[in-house]
Amino acid sequence: MSTAAVAAPAFDKQGKLTDEERVDAAMRSFVREFGVTASLHMESCVRCGMCAEACHFHVATGEAKYTPIHKLEPFRRAYFREAGPFAPLVRGLGLVKKLTIAELEQWQELIYDSCTMCGRCTMICPMGIDIAELVKEARHGMFKAGLVPERLALMDRAAQQWGSTATPGEDLPDILKEAGDEHGVTIPCDLPAADILVTAAPAELGEHTKALAAAAKILNRIGAKWTMHSAGFDASNIGFNNGDLELQERLTRSIVDTAVKIGAKTVILPECGHAYGAARWEAAKWYGKELPVRIIHMTEFLDETLAAGKIRVKRIGESATYHDPCQIVRRGGLEAAARRVVAALGFELIEMKDHGVTSYCCGGGGGVISNQRATPLRNKVFEIKRQQIDATGAKHFVTSCGQCRITFETGAKVAHWDKPTESLLELVADNLAD
């Protein structure tokens, strides 16, 4: 028998709370999450195991600990011990033990390193349990306990200080000018009045500035009165991923409030999946009423602009396959919209074995791509997607999420895979017809 030590799951801590205080902070947060919907989901699991075969981390490794419902075990125990209908009896008889700090530390790997909140497990659950949403709610407690992977916590601190994980707002005008000069397009910034407020993801302010230029090219072509704005520009929302509700609200409000300030009726989100989840579907809860602006994803904008005949595109006439970003398609509903844009470009679409709402995640969402210690596991997951892409034989590989694009580009380097990942937005801008 081998005497080699088994490595303990990695975990990080933030703040100066004692172990007991961390457990109490997590438990208080967990209990606050147990409204009607979450409680019904906690009561509904029949332990059928079907979610295991839906999870790319379980499929890639075969390890039982990556079964999605298992990732909720501490959350489930908190429910039955503190919030369930028989909680006093459960506590009194000791039927469910109180959580320990060691369990929370071990759990960090399961809900941050090996869950992208992609929702594929939710789709397959015969009881309709939204496992992805429950994981997101569980992260709220982990953040309160100061038990977040340090790389994500670092990004959180940057966003708290700057209002963005990429750059302080004061630097945005210079970044946009440089990007505009590089790509030969005008990118307006801080206009006092505009009809459309355009936002960005961090990569678009760095290595993927062509995406900003592509959006500008299209908006300028249709004569839109639009701007980006240093008071609200980063839509990626690290608070959404980390479980930092206060930061999530602040970042979301900065975008909506900026739009209202300049009179914009529409906010366009970048090619970013979690931006869509945070701003499109959760923004209204911070206001408690209907939002004063319309918030749409770049894919929706492209689809509507093409359908209205405001732009025309040259037909490429080659084969392509399309990766469905989880937050945009499975949890966001833009499956048909993306395919209409692909069709407008004249692609012969060859679907992957798993596509649309059942598509496998890229493996980097939910902050996993930014969580360096999750790299080996993420690379295993990448192989599932790479094999499905290659099996199509398509000449082009297209997606509409910048986070997915970064994950694929990172995985490609490790796997020595030479398939470029193409942006749907950039393809439209590059093929505008006169």
Length of the chain measured in residues: 434
Which tokens sit at 185?
A: 């397009």
* Rounded to 5°, angle at Cα 403 from 64 and 267: 125
The strands making up 266-269's β-sheet, listed across from edge to edge, are: 226-227, 196-198, 266-269, 294-297
Model confidence, pTM:
0.93
| Domains present along the chain, CATH in parentheses | 19-148 (1.10.1060), 151-305 (1.20.1050), 307-430 (3.40.50)
Using alpha carbons, list the distances in angstroms from residue 67 to 146, 243, 297, 310. 25, 21, 31, 47
H or E element in which residue 295 lies: strand 294-297
* CA 135 – CA 130 distance, rounded (Å): 9
| Closest C-alpha to 404, from 350, 365, 346, 353 | 365
Backbone angles phi, psi at 313, to 5 degrees: -125, 150
Q: Which helix (H) or strand (E) holds 120?
A: helix 120-124
Please report, in tens digits, the pLDDT of each residue of the chain (434 residues total): 333 444 455 789 999 999 999 999 999 999 999 999 999 999 999 989 899 999 999 999 999 999 999 999 999 999 999 999 999 999 999 999 999 999 999 999 999 999 999 999 999 999 999 999 999 999 999 999 999 999 999 999 999 999 999 899 999 999 999 999 999 999 999 999 999 999 999 999 988 999 999 999 999 999 999 999 999 999 999 999 999 999 999 999 999 999 999 999 999 999 988 899 899 888 888 877 889 999 999 999 999 999 999 999 999 999 999 999 999 999 999 999 999 999 999 999 999 999 999 999 999 999 999 999 999 999 999 999 999 999 999 999 999 999 999 999 999 999 999 999 999 999 999 999 98
CA distance linking residue 23 with residue 1, whole number of Å: 37
**Nearest CA-CA partner of 274 in 367, 166, 142:** 367
d(CA 298, CA 401): 9
